[in-house]
Amino acid sequence: MPRYRITIEYDGTPFLGWQRQAQGPSVQGALEEALFRFSSEAAAVRGAGRTDSGVHALGQVAHFNLERAWEPFKIREAMNFHLRPAPVVVVDCENAADDFDARYSATARHYRYRILSRRAPPALERNRVWWLPITLDAAAMHEAAQALLGRHDFTTFRAAQCQANSPLRTLDRLDVSRYADEIVVEASARSFLHNQVRSMVGSLKLVGEGKWRPRDLKAALEARDRTACGPVAAACGLYLVRVDYGRAADTGTEVAPDDD
């Protein structure tokens, strides 16, 4: 049974998230419906990250099996045709090894969070940035963020409904930069806990507006207490940018994530 790997781009605004829902649209559901329409096969599409409602993707990865062998180019073109007008696009499709798993084979996930820090609201970027009509200190946010790097118990930044077996995660990158009125947070790890990125960004926002000092963020991490977390950042500013595959750095418990 041939297995295929696809890279997907989507605007998460109209969806209830990646995962198929009994009621309401999902990205997974849209992809499976497009597959069925051209192949007449009820294939299950498995994604690398289960993004929440309103979260976007530039490089989500998924895999599926089909009974019949197809040219990857034809799969991509047919899926994109049947996905219209939903804001989901299959950017690439390729043959995959039988043991490839979009979720469990991943060795790194890269997220980007966008904040528009200005008085005027967005006109063209509505639902694609977290608009904050205040001035944020990106340098202070970056300084504070470095305390979260490395392997820690991230209970403070974990959603209450997170189903991961362990709160331990290794955060490889958490950079904060300003580009004119936009503040961008780049986060990389092998895996993330449910709502981890948005929780970290929400706490960094408190540093940026001067309500917390960098040491307060470190204290929140060390508290290992969800109540120590700042307000969770809005879903609309979060993007799954890229998923890496290759030799894993370790074989810890992080291969089965509950993603943002």
On average, the pLDDT of the chain sits at: 94
pLDDT at 256 over 50: no
The pLDDT value recorded for residue 228 is: 96
Taking only the tens place, the pLDDT of each residue in 46-63 is: 999 999 999 999 999 999
For helices 214-223 and 138-145, the axis angle rounded to 10 degrees is 40
- Residue 237 corresponds to which tokens in the numbers above? 């500013």
Q: Could you write out the DSSP letters of every residue in 120-180?
A: SPPSSSTTTSEEESS---HHHHHHHHGGG-EEEE-GGGS-TT---S--EEEEEEEEEEEET
Indicate if 52 belongs to the active site.
yes
Taking only the tens place, the pLDDT of each residue in 71-97 is: 999 999 999 999 999 999 999 999 999
The pLDDT value recorded for residue 21 is: 87
pLDDT at 259 over 70: no
Alpha helices by DSSP H, 100-160: 138-145
CB 260 within 8 A of CB 198: yes
pLDDT at 66 over 80: yes
Q: Please give the average per-residue pLDDT across 7-16, as a whole number.
A: 97
For tokens 């694609």, what's the residue?
128
Taking only the tens place, the pLDDT of each residue in 16-50 is: 999 998 889 999 999 999 999 999 999 999 999 99
Taking only the tens place, the pLDDT of each residue in 141-177 is: 999 999 999 999 999 999 988 888 899 999 999 999 9
- Active-site position among 11, 52, 259, 260: 52
In terms of Cα–Cα distance, which of 5, 10, 84, 4 is closest to 240? 10
Rounded CA separation 48/258 (Å): 10
Rounded CA separation 40/187 (Å): 39
Rounded CA separation 105/90 (Å): 20
The pLDDT value recorded for residue 22 is: 85
Q: List domains and CATH numbers for the chain.
A: 3-96 (3.30.70.580), 107-246 (3.30.70.660)
Q: How far is CA 31 from the centre of its chain?
A: 18
Rounded CA separation 95/181 (Å): 42
Rounded CA separation 5/97 (Å): 9
Q: Please give the average per-residue pLDDT across 85-112, as a whole number.
A: 97
pLDDT at 241 over 70: yes
* Pairing mode of beta strands 106-117, 56-65: unpaired
Taking only the tens place, the pLDDT of each residue in 196-215 is: 999 999 999 999 999 999 99
Q: Which H or E run contains 193?
A: none
Lowest mean pLDDT among 141-155, 219-233, 237-251: 237-251
Residue 100 has phi, psi (to 5 degrees) of -70, 135
The pLDDT value recorded for residue 260 is: 66
The pLDDT value recorded for residue 251 is: 39
